[in-house]
């Protein structure tokens, strides 16, 4: 896969789809890679020029010294866009990727067409929980938290029905560099965008999961109420709603992005 080398950072990315199609950027959750969007790719490639990337500290991207910040993660997106000549794009992020999307919507909305924020929140606390997770991963590795993460990311019913899908996500988690993971945990821990989200002025869809324990549906509903004109969709899923309800998620995503912009 191609990489962007800039200021000591190597960002692993992948561009697919027709060159004449509108750009769509996909941003991964904490502990996964650009492969977390695999369930959506066949349909998305029918309509969009898709840019997927591994957030710094994940997958094939490098692991600069942490801690990281949401500002820095948003800056990485801008660096990718500038390097690839992407003036404007749709943006879809899930969990930590959604937090990056909030930052983009607040600070760089002139670079966005439409924004989709999935299973995310403007602030996730308390900090003590993140500090405990950071210390556990630093001391014991990713293996020490994967079981608990998987139990929060999927409902028991889905895990029983589709163990091979759960195994794919588990492999992404286990393959994440521990220092990259904890540096990104710090970015999520320190993020508080609650006072800023009302400044988002691009058409926005918020997707939440009824059974999401990591970013509860009430947080997604609150986001949709703060962002002017935002739409809200709640799926019968836990945290990785794009895996647990792939057809409904993909239909909602593509349907929203393909609508004509009536905001001017």
d(CA 46, CA 18): 8
In a domain, 212, yes or no: yes
Q: Per the domain annotation, does 264 fall within a domain?
A: no
Split at pLDDT 50, 70, 90, the class of 105 is very high
155 pLDDT exceeds 60?
A: yes
Q: For residue 57, is it within any domain?
A: yes
Residue 189 near residue 131 (C-beta atoms within 8 A): yes
Q: Is residue 213 part of a domain?
A: yes
Edge to edge, the sheet with strand 9-16 lists: 3-6, 9-16, 49-53, 23-27, 89-94, 112-118, 204-209, 231-235
Q: Is the pLDDT of residue 92 over 50?
A: yes
* Average confidence score pLDDT of the chain: 97
Whether pLDDT at 256 is above 70: yes
Strand partners, 53: 13, 27
> Is residue 227 in some structural domain?
yes
Of 31, 74, 81, 94, residue with least CA distance to 51: 81
- Structural domain range at position 29: 3-258
Using one digit for the tens of pLDDT, what is the confidence trace for 22-47?
999 999 999 999 999 999 999 999 99
Q: Is the pTM of this model over 0.85?
A: yes
In this structure, is residue 263 part of a structural domain?
A: no
For residues 77 and 54, the answer to whether their CB atoms sit within 8 Å is no
Q: Please tell me the total count of domains within the chain.
A: 1
How much is the pLDDT for 7?
85
pLDDT at residue 51 greater than cutoff 50: yes
Domain CATH number, residue 8? 3.40.50.1820
């Amino acid at each position: 896969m191609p990489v962007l080398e800039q200021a000591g950072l190597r960002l692993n990315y992948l561009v697919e789809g027709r060159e004449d199609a509108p750009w769509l950027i996909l941003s991964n959750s904490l502990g996964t890679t650009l492969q977390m969007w695999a369930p959506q790719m066949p349909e998305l490639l029918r309509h969009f020029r898709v840019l997927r990337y591994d957030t710094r500290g994940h997958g094939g991207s490098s692991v600069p010294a942490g801690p990281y910040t949401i500002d820095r993660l948003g800056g990485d997106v801008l660096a990718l866009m500038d390097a690839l000549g992407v003036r404007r794009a749709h943006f879809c992020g899930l969990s930590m990727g959604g937090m990056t999307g909030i930052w983009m919507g607040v600070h760089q909305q002139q670079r966005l067409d439409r924004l989709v924020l999935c299973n995310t929140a403007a602030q996730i606390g308390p900090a003590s929980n993140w500090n405990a997770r950071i210390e556990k991963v630093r001391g014991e590795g990713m293996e020490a938290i994967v079981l608990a993460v998987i139990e929060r990311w999927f409902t028991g019913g889905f895990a029983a029905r589709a163990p091979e899908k759960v195994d794919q996500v588990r492999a992404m988690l286990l393959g994440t560099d521990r220092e990259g993971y904890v540096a990104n945990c710090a970015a999520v821990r320190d993020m508080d965008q609650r006072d800023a989200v009302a400044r988002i002025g691009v058409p926005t869809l918020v997707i939440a999961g009824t059974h999401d324990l990591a970013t509860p549906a009430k947080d997604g509903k609150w986001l949709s109420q703060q962002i002017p004109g935002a739409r809200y969709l709640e799926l019968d899923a836990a945290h990785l709603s794009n895996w647990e309800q792939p057809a409904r998620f993909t239909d909602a995503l593509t349907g929203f992005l393909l609508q004509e912009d009536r905001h001017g």
